[in-house]
Amino acid sequence: MADEKKNIFVSHYHADADKIEGLKDLIGRHGVDMRDSSIYEAKLKNNATNENYIKYELIKPQIQWAGTVVVLIGDKTANSDYVDWEIKTAAEMDKNIVGVFLPGAKEEDVPPALNEYGSNLVGWNGEKIVDAINGEELEWEKADGTPRPNNPDGIDHYEC
C-alpha cells in the first residue's frame, strides 16, 4: 500500500521544532506521507521580526494550504501566543485541528484555544494520530492516554 499524502501544518512552541521530524516518521510508519508546510529554523531560515509579517505573510498562507493543523503539545505550548493564534486562525479556516501530546507533556500544557477549537487530542501514538488527521472523531485523551472530556472548561464550541 502506498502512503497517503497529507498536507499538514504543525503548530509548535519553537523549542519543540525538532519533534516535527519524529512526527513525520511516526505517522509515516502508519501510512501517511506528511507534506509539511510548517515554519521552523531547520527547514526555513527566517530573520523576520515584525509580528504581523510573520503571522499574516509567513504563517497564515501555510495554514491555508494545509488540510490539517497538528498542534504539538510540550511543556511550554500552553503559554505560546503564536500557537494560540495559529489554532484560532486554523479554526477560522475550518481546518481539522489535532492536538498531540509530546512524550512528557502534561494536561496543563494544552493551549486554551485547543480546548475551544480542537477536533481531537491524542497521545504520541501513530495510529491514533493518523485516525485524527483523517478526521475520525476520537475520544479525547489526557497526556497519560486516559480519556478526558473534550471540553474540560465547559467552553461552547462554535463554527467559525
Nearest CA to 118 out of 70, 85, 153 is that of 70
Grid cell in block for residue 150: 473534550
Residue 150 in any domain: the answer is no
Total structural domains within the chain:
1
72: containing domain: 4-133
Residue-level length of the chain: 160
Domain containing 102 — which CATH number?
3.40.50.300
pTM of the complete model? 0.89
pLDDT tens for each residue of 114-159: 999 999 999 999 999 999 999 999 999 999 889 987 755 544 544 4
| Radius of gyration, alpha carbons of the chain | 15
- Looking at residue 79, its amino acid is N
